[in-house]
Amino acid sequence: MKKRARTKHTPRAEKTRARLVDAAIDEFAEFGFHNSKISNIVARAGVTQPTFYFYFDTKEAIHEYLVERVRMELTGLIETARIPATTPASDVMDKLRNAIEVFLKYFEENPKLAPIGYFDGIKSSAIREEIVALVSRNIAFEQGAGYCRPELDPVFMSHCYNGSLERLIRVYLLSGQYDAHALAEKVANLYGYGSVPKSFFDSTAGEHNNLKS
C-alpha cells in the first residue's frame, strides 16, 4: 500500500500534529486503545477527520507513535542513570535516589502518556523487558565499581527492582499518594540499605561469638 505523502514541517503543520497527539493521549488514557475513536480524537483536537488522516494513517498508527515515544524517552533516561565509577562512596546513595527519581518523575509529569506505552500498549511488555535489560547492564557496571554486591545476579535483581517499581507507580505515584521525590527516597532506602536492621546482624554475630567462646 502506498504511503500518503506528508507536508513539510511548517510551524502550522507541527502545531496541528501536536494538537492531534495531545488529543490522542487524552482519548487513549480515558478509554483505552480499543474503545477510543478517531472521531473523538479529532473532536478533542478541533480538526476535521481528513486532517487526522493527513498526519496518521490509522488509529493504530498514532497509538504506535505514542508507545514508541514512551519507549525512547524512558530508555534514554535509563541509559544516563548509571552511577559513574568515580562517584565517592558518600555520594552513592544520593546518586541512586536521583536515578530512581528521574524515572518516577517521567510518570509524574506524563500521567496520561506514560501508562499508554509502559502498561497499556501491545508492545508494553517488550518495552518493560528492554528496560530490565538496560537496568541489569547498569547494575553489572555498578557491581564492577563496587557499588553493588558482586554475588547478585544483575538480571534477577533488575526484574525484582523493575517489577516492584511497576506496582509502586500504579499504587502510590499515579494515585497521588506519593510524589516522585518521596517515593524515590523510600525505594532507594529499601534497595540501598535492605529491610533487616544492621543492629540485628551485629547482635546475632555477638551471640555466635559468645557461643563459640
**123 backbone dihedrals φ, ψ, rounded to 5°:** -95, 5
Cα-flanking dihedrals φ and ψ of residue 209, to 5°? -65, -35
All cell numbers assigned to 92 = 552513592
Decide if pLDDT at 65 tops 70.
yes
Inter-axis angle of helices 11-35 and 59-79, to 10 degrees? 100
> Could you give the CA distance from residue 95 to residue 83 in angstroms, rounded to a whole number?
6
Lowest mean pLDDT among 14-23, 108-117, 191-200: 191-200
Please tell me the predicted confidence (pLDDT) of residue 127: 96
Whether the predicted pLDDT of 211 surpasses 80: no
What mean pLDDT, rounded, does the chain reach?
A: 91
Residue 7 has pLDDT above 80, yes or no: no
Q: What is the dihedral of CA 63, 69, 72, 77, to 10 degrees?
A: -130
213 or 5, greater pLDDT: 213
Indicate the pTM of the whole model: 0.87
Task: Specify the domain boundaries for CATH 1.10.357.10 within the chain.
Answer: 66-200
- Residues 59 and 38: beta-carbon distance below 8 Å: yes
CA 113 to chain centroid: 11
Average pLDDT over residues 21-32: 97
Name the pLDDT band for 189 (thresholds 50, 70, 90). Answer: very high
The confidence band for 2, taking pLDDT boundaries of 50, 70 and 90, is: very low
Nearest CA to 157 out of 107, 183, 198, 192 is that of: 192
- Identify whether the C-beta of residue 70 lies closer than 8 Å to the C-beta of residue 117: yes
**Coil, helix or strand at residue 46:** coil
What is the mean predicted confidence (pLDDT) over 55-73? 97
What are the start and end residues of each CATH 1.10.10.60 domain in the chain?
Answer: 11-56
Of 53 and 1, more confident: 53
Superfamily for domain range 66-200: Tetracycline Repressor, domain 2 (1.10.357.10)
Gap between the Cα atoms of 78 and 75, Å rounded: 5
Residue 150 has pLDDT above 50, yes or no: yes
- Give the pLDDT score at 177: 98
pLDDT of residue 160: 97
CATH number listed for the domain at residues 11-56: 1.10.10.60
